[in-house]
Amino acid sequence: MIDNTMTIMNTINIPKGIDIENSTDTKLKEQTDKFEAFFIKQVLDISLKNDSKLFEKDASDKIYNSMYNDAMSNALTGKFGFSEMLFNFLKEER
């Protein structure tokens, strides 16, 4: 398997549709980013689940996979648009 985590983490995507005006908006943006990271991690946990009986699994495999999915979900946050869409919706509702 090719590890492309560093490549993804080095790409910075600044969304154009987000208008941060004050500290409340900054806190809201942080929370919507965390929600998007959580959502992406759940998708990665399900999609990258390996139930192969060919190789035995131990606790270190589970820990490594969890840490890898955490890093990938944090790196991918802001790339799918969920955070931006949720931020804009919640900002309008205030």
pLDDT tens digits, residue range 24-68? 889 999 999 999 999 999 999 999 887 777 777 788 888 988 999
Percent of the chain with pLDDT over 70: 79
DSSP 78: T
Task: Specify the higher pLDDT residue, 82 or 51.
Answer: 82
CA distance 67 to 23: 31
Predicted pLDDT of residue 12: 38
Give the whole-number percent of the chain exceeding pLDDT 90. Answer: 46
Band of pLDDT at residue 16, cut at 50, 70 and 90: low
Q: Which residue has the higher pLDDT, 26 or 8?
A: 26
